[in-house]
């Protein structure tokens, strides 16, 4: 992975645009959550200004990753398609004030360091796009017996059997 660090405020002020592809295997924190490190993610970053006057980034991410289903413990592909709006703040206090002023859960307010590694932003976005509990819509027929069980036996039924 080629690390590219930029000043995000300058990037937004100049309304710059960058895009590229990154192999999933180059994103260590992401691969720790996946079934394997195959695939590639396409990313796009556009700088600009939010209607409130704050610097803003639009980050788009597309690709496919392989997760482990929490029901049947088999791998399955997940299409990642994410678009985030990030408003920049210079301090944590400014970020809190901006977040309260915007009052919009679809916008994230971040406080970047002096120069920000773009791949950290891309990897953060990919991690946020993953489901908390990955599962197939319908587990495959060959799933391990007894693992596909959405309804566990009631603890009271177990106690009744002891009687």
Which domain covers residue 20, as residue numbers?
5-162
CB 43 within 8 A of CB 22: yes
Question: Between β-strands 75-88 and 55-68, what pairing exists: parallel, antiparallel or unpaired?
Answer: antiparallel
112 burial level (CB within 10 Å; 0-12, 13-18, 19+):
buried
Specify the pLDDT at position 87. Answer: 92
Predicted model pTM: 0.78
Specify the pLDDT at position 146. Answer: 44
Cα–Cα separations (whole angstroms), residue 41 to 3, 9, 32:
15, 25, 16
Specify the pLDDT at position 144. Answer: 56
Please tell me the total count of domains within the chain: 1
CA 132 remoteness from chain centre: 10
Specify the pLDDT at position 151. Answer: 57
Specify the pLDDT at position 127. Answer: 95
Q: Which two tokens stand for residue 72?
A: 């049947």
Q: What is the mean pLDDT of each run of 10 residues along the chain (163 residues)?
A: 78 95 95 93 95 92 94 91 92 88 85 87 94 87 52 70 72
Q: Which two tokens stand for residue 61?
A: 């991410």
Question: Between β-strands 107-110 and 75-88, what pairing exists: parallel, antiparallel or unpaired?
Answer: parallel
The whole-angstrom separation of Cα 145 and Cα 88 is 50
- Residue 77: phi and psi, rounded to 5, are -80, 145
Cα–Cα separations (whole angstroms), residue 134 to 23, 42, 49, 72, 94:
21, 22, 35, 11, 35
The whole-angstrom separation of Cα 120 and Cα 124 is 6
């Amino acid at each position: 992975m080629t690390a590219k660090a930029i000043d995000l405020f300058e990037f937004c002020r100049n309304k710059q645009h960058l895009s590229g592809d990154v192999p999933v295997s180059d994103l260590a924190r992401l691969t720790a959550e996946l079934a394997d490190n195959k695939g590639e993610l396409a990313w796009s970053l556009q700088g600009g200004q939010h209607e409130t006057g704050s610097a803003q980034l639009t980050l788009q991410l597309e690709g496919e990753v392989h997760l482990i289903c929490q029901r049947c413990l088999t791998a399955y592909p997940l299409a990642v398609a994410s678009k985030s709006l990030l408003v920049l703040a210079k301090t944590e206090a400014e970020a809190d004030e901006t977040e309260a002023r915007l009052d919009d859960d679809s916008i994230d307010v971040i406080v970047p360091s002096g120069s920000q590694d773009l791949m950290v932003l891309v990897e953060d976005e990919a991690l946020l796009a993953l489901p908390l509990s990955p599962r197939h819509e319908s587990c495959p027929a060959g799933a391990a017996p007894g693992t596909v069980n959405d309804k566990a036996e009631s603890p009271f039924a177990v106690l009744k059997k002891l009687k």
